[in-house]
Amino acid sequence: MDKHGYSSPIAEEFAQEMVRRNKVDRIVAMAPVGILLFLVALLSIVADGFFTGYNIQTILGQLSIPLVMSMGLTFVILLAGTDLSGEGLGGFVGSIVILMVLNTKTDLDMGLWAILIAVAAGLVVGIISGVIHVYGKMPSFIVTYAMSSIMAGFAVLSYRGQPAMSKYEFFITLSRGRFLGIPSLTWIALAIFAISYVLQERTRFGEYVFAIGDNERVAKNTGININRIKILVFAWSGLCIGVAGVLGAIRIGRGEVVIGKDTVFPAITAVVVGGTPLTGGRGGVVHSLVGALIVTIIYNGLILLGVSTYIQAAIQGVIIITAVALSVKRGRKVVTK
Amino acid sequence: MSNSAHHDLATSGRTWASGRSWLRDNMSRFISLASIVLLVIIFTVMNPNFLGAANVRNLLTDISPLLVMSCGVALVLLLGSIDLSMGSIASCSAVMLTLTFTCAGWWSYALIFLFGVFAGFLNGILHAKLKVPSFIATLSTQSIWQSAAFLLSGGQPLTLIPKNWGYVNWVRAKSIGPIPLGPIPPLFLIGLVLMIVYYVYQSRTETGKTMMALGANERAARLIGLGINRAKIVAFTFSGIGAAVAGMIFAVKLKSGIPTVGEQYNLIAIASAALGGVALTGGRGHIILVILGVGLITVIQNGMNVIAVDGFWQQIVFGLLVLAAIYMNSDRRRRDLVVK
């Protein structure tokens, strides 16, 4: 019934349709949480020692790097882009941070400044990727894929084949430290999550990212400086990769290019499984937190079940294809490249 | 060259194309060709044996795996899609070939070829039917085949046992029956044949032409009733075959199955296709001219080995080359173009 007192069947139908769609959307949004709970229940039954205090602490520790990586990636994927540079860039940042603190290879002993410089390096490389992507009009995945190769080269170049070991007390304390039973590195990751949440929910930047991801042309016509936002998103992603690289270096206590290896794929899986589709515009960092938990729990569970580490990557591959295939729009008119 | 320019015009519909834009469209090819000539001159001056029969033979052998991979991925790039799984399909093929000789003998080659067909077909189905974006579909299958390669080899490089060397000795053949090959190695001939087959298929059959058309404008291609999905699946299948053949070439050349042998070739194959003038946005490129990019990459690779540059420099150089090549081929004239 509208204000004129007669009912308009079309409007009513439309309203009903919207209510129905909202309901479906809400159920779909909750699906990852359901999967997470199901996995926890399943693994508690199947895997010995899964639901123990010790293993939960282990899971939280394993969560830190995928969570940080996925926080940056979420914004990129919200724009319908991709950042594949984590493998090389994470390795590079991890390598140089160890070279700059007290270590076995160089005389540099810059302490906390080293962390700052290393993370800034990640940020700068992110900006470079963003600029090349935006002004060169080149697809983001190939720019960042090439960037990953370049930075992996620079990583090995920085330590010239022989990785440096960390002798920095603070890193050792951090890698072993706990607060309220949660590993310190996980607290850092949670801090990054909190910042991402504020960026997404409380800033103009976050709004614009959703607007661009939803429809770039419309966003452009409303006067949003698309190029600036896109570059900022890649900068944020670079910064997150930088933090992840530093966390990786702290964890293994060695500055080596392998720090970045096999970090990008879990992060993409986390974002997509959490419910941010590769076509962008929907989802967000809270979804990615759930996704990161799912990815970490699967990883942890498979190890407890004694599954070969070689198969882990294959299983992630199957998960990611399934998740993407379930989330994409189909139909004859859809163009996917 | 004129043929390629014709392709470009026909598919992108740029009727105003002048001589200058023709030059711009072919920029990466000119630069590749000029760089090859320049580098060959430099290396010959540095070492007169560079163009000797022995080294030419080496170079041509080195070219072959990259050539088959690049021609395969070039077809996928024509669609505007990408294949990031080639490297691990090649690794997996190399490992499997090394293992299957003992039980399957000469049939091993056919088996691995079929594996390539299957792996490529799978990518095609995932992309065309399930509508998974190609980069994520092939990134996922890449990790699946990489896992398979590690599992089959136990994570270690496998050496071909001497008993089976009989199956790979043809690599050093100097003639096919009565026909002498001169400095041309058999492996290069395989690469050449595959390239020509791909070229003829792409330029002469309806499905092949559809690849080009749908890369230029998928909606239009669908509206005029072209078999879009078929073309996509065939392109990915060809890419898978190229990767599997490359893997077999690695295995017979090195007499071993190394589970990471193809790892770096994803990027290099894309780089050489782009240097040969294939646009990543699809619809523009020429299979035969991909050999220019392959030649340049191989000369750089060989040259860096000759002057003993560390391996990590190659990663940096090839990364930069990809960026430069794609930059040269990307279309920045349209202001409303949305690039994701």
Is residue A142 assigned to a domain?
Answer: yes
Query: Please, what is the angle between helix A140-159 and helix B265-275, to 10°?
Result: 120
Each residue of A162-196: b (16+ CB within 10 Å) or e?
ebbebebeebeebbeeeeeebbbbbbbbbebbeeb
Q: pLDDT at position A160, please?
A: 85
A19 assigned to some structural domain: no
Q: Is the pLDDT of residue B108 over 70?
A: yes
The residues facing A165 across adjacent strands are A254
Alpha-carbon distance B95 to nearest alpha carbon in chain A (angstroms): 15
Task: Say if A7 falls within a structural domain.
Answer: no
Residues of B in contact with A312 (CB under 8 A): 147
CB within 8 Å: A142 and B282: no
Q: What are the two backbone dihedrals, phi and then psi, of residue A70, each rounded to the nearest 5 degrees? A: -70, -20
The partner residues of B256 in beta bridges, in order of sequence, read B159
d(CA B261, CA B192) in angstroms, rounded, equals 22
Q: What ipTM goes with this model? A: 0.82
Contacts of B292 (CB under 8 A, 6+ apart): B29, B32, B33, B36, B275, B276, B277
A156 vs B151, B312, B320: nearest CB = B312
In angstroms, the CA A223 to CA B179 distance is 69
Size of chain B in residues? 340
Residue A92 tokens read as: 């590079």
Q: What is the pLDDT at residue B168?
A: 83
Residue A17, in any domain of the structure = no
Q: Report the alpha-carbon distance of residue B165 to residue A294 in Å, rounded.
A: 48
Question: Which of A31-40, B116-125, B200-209 has the highest mean predicted lDDT (pLDDT)?
Answer: B116-125
Question: Which residue in this structure is represented by tokens 């004239």?
Answer: B333
CB of A278 within 8 A of CB of A77? Answer: yes
* Tens digits of residue pLDDT in B2-49: 444 444 444 444 444 456 677 777 777 888 888 888 888 888 888 787
Calculate the average pLDDT of chain A. 89
Residue A43 lies in a domain: no
Instruction: Quote the pLDDT of residue B14.
Output: 46
> What's the gap between Cα B34 and its chain centre?
21
Model-wide pTM > 0.90: no
User: How many angstroms separate the CA of residue A312 from the nearest CA in chain B?
Assistant: 8
Q: For residue A221, is it within any domain? A: yes
pLDDT in tens, B164-177: 888 888 887 777 77
Residue A22 domain-assigned (yes or no): no
Cβ of residue A329 closer than 8 Å to a chain B Cβ: yes
A 66-105 residues inside an 8 A Cβ radius of B: 79-82, 84
Pairing of β A182-183 and β A254-255: unpaired
Q: Determine the residue of chain A that is closest to B265 in CA distance.
A: A149
Q: Which residue stretches of A106-183 are H helix?
A: 112-135, 140-159, 169-176
Task: Please report residues of A whose CB lies closer than 8 A to that of B269.
Answer: none
For position B336, what pLDDT does the model report? 62
- Tell me: pLDDT of A334 over 80: no
Distance CA B241, CA B253 (A): 18
Q: How far is B211 from chain A (nearest CA, A)?
A: 12
Structure tokens at B326: 């794609």
pLDDT in tens, A189-229: 999 999 999 999 999 999 999 999 888 888 888 889 999 99
**What does DSSP say about strands A254-255 and A164-165: parallel, antiparallel, or unpaired?**
antiparallel
What is the model's pLDDT at position B303? 77
Which band of pLDDT confidence, cut at 50, 70 and 90, is reported for residue A5? Answer: low
Q: Which residue has the higher pLDDT, B28 or A268?
A: A268
**pLDDT value, residue A134:** 92
The pLDDT value recorded for residue A92 is 96
AA letter at A99: L
Q: What is the pLDDT of residue A332?
A: 59
Q: What is the pLDDT of residue A115?
A: 93
Q: Which two tokens stand for residue B105?
A: 């003998």
pLDDT digits (tens, 9 = 90+) for B61-73: 889 999 999 999 9
Model pLDDT for residues B197-225, shown as the tens digit of each residue = 999 999 999 999 999 999 888 888 988 98
The domain total for chain A is 1
Whether residue B314 lies inside any domain: the answer is no
Does A163 fall in a domain?
yes
Q: Which residue has the higher pLDDT, A118 or B56?
A: A118
Q: Do A324 and B142 touch (CB under 8 A)?
A: no
DSSP one-letter code for A166: B
Residues listed for chain A:
337
Which amino acid belongs to residue B233? I
Is the Cβ pair A140, B81 closer than 8 Å?
no
What distance separates the 2 farthest-apart alpha carbons in chain B?
63
Give the Å distances, CA to CA, from A50 to A37, A55, A182, A278. 14, 6, 17, 32
Do residue B136 and residue A320 have CB atoms under 8 angstroms apart?
A: yes
Q: Contact B139/A145 with Cβ under 8 angstroms?
A: no
Beta strands in chain A (DSSP E): 164-165, 178-179, 182-183, 254-255
Indicate the number of domains in chain B.
Answer: 1
> Is residue B112 within 8 Å of B93, Cβ to Cβ?
yes
Q: In this structure, what DSSP letter does residue B258 have? A: -
In a domain? residue B128: yes
CB contact under 8 A, B140 and A321: yes
Percent of chain B with pLDDT over 90: 44
Distance in angstroms (rounded) separating the CA atoms of residues A25 and A282: 11
For residue A7, is pLDDT > 70?
no
Q: What percent of chain A has pLDDT over 90?
A: 50
Return the higher-pLDDT residue of A8 and A322.
A322
Question: Quick check: A316 and B318 CB within 8 A?
Answer: no
| B326 within domain boundaries | no
Place of tokens 């003829």: B200
Interface of A with B in 108-137 (CB under 8 A): 132-133, 136-137
Any idea which residue has 């992309």 for tokens?
A: B127
CA A223, distance to chain mean position in Å, is: 29
Confidence at B337, pLDDT banded by 50, 70, 90:
low
- Picking from A154, A278, A329, the nearest residue to B136 by CB comes out as A278
Residue with tokens 């795996």: B65
Rounded to a whole number of angstroms, the CA Rg of chain B reads 20
* Per-residue model confidence (pLDDT) at position B329: 78
Residue in B184, B189, B174 with CA at minimum distance from that of residue B57? B184
Please check whether residue B134 lies inside any domain of the structure: yes
Size of interface A-B (CB pairs under 8 A): 162
Q: In chain B, whose CA is at the least distance from the CA of A333?
A: B219
Q: What span, in angstroms and rounded, lies between the C-alpha atoms of A292 and A265?
A: 11
Weakest mean pLDDT among A35-44, A296-305, A317-326: A317-326
Distance (Å) from the alpha carbon of A180 to chain B's nearest alpha carbon: 37
Q: At what angle do helices B228-254 and B53-78 cross, to 10 degrees?
A: 160
> Is the Cα dihedral A117, A119, A125, A130 positive or negative?
negative
Across the range A23-52, mean pLDDT stands at 86
Smallest CA-to-CA distance from A302 within A75, A56, A47, A90 is with: A47
For residue A217, the chain B residues in CB contact (below 8 A) are 336, 338
C-beta atoms of B316 and A153 within 8 A: yes
pLDDT digits (tens, 9 = 90+) for B126-159: 999 998 889 899 999 999 999 999 999 998 999 9
A50 touches chain B (CB under 8 A): no
Mutate to test the interface with A, among B81, B140, B265, B335 (most CBs of A within 10 A): B140
Question: Which residues of A fall within a CB distance of 8 Å from B326?
Answer: 136, 138, 142-143, 146
Q: Which CATH number characterizes residue A122's domain? A: 1.10.3470
pLDDT digits (tens, 9 = 90+) for A122-163: 999 999 999 999 998 888 988 999 999 999 999 999 988 788
Residue range(s) defining the domain that contains residue B94: 37-266
In chain A, residues with a C-beta closer than 8 Å to the C-beta of B155 are 310
Q: Would the pLDDT of A2 be above 60?
A: no
User: Is residue B54 situated within a structural domain?
Assistant: yes
Whether residue B276 lies inside any domain: the answer is no
B281 and B76 Cβ atoms separated by less than 8 Å = no
* Predicted local distance difference test score (pLDDT) of residue B194: 94
* Matching residue, tokens 């009009």: A137
Domain hosting residue A146, numbered range? 49-325
- First and final CA of chain B: distance in angstroms? 31
Query: Are A217 and B338 inside 8 Å of each other by CB?
Result: yes
User: What mean pLDDT do residues A235-254 have?
Assistant: 95
**In whole angstroms, what is the distance from residue B164 CA to residue B109 CA?**
13
Chain B residues near residue A212 by CB distance under 8 angstroms = none
Half-sphere exposure in the Cβ direction for B73 (13 Å, CA): 39
DSSP-assigned states of every residue in B1-22? -HHHHHHHHHHH--TT--HHHH
pLDDT band at B281 (very low <50, low <70, confident <90, very high): confident
Closest B-chain CA to A226: B338
pLDDT at B333: 67
Integer Cα distance of B189 and B245 in angstroms: 12
Residue A209 Cα, gap to closest chain B Cα (Å) = 13
Q: What is the mean pLDDT of residues B184-202?
A: 92
Q: Give the separation between CA B165 and CA B161, rounded to whole angstroms.
A: 7
**A310 with A110: CB under 8 angstroms?**
no
Contacts of B222 in chain A (CB under 8 A): 332
Residue B210 forms part of a structural domain: yes
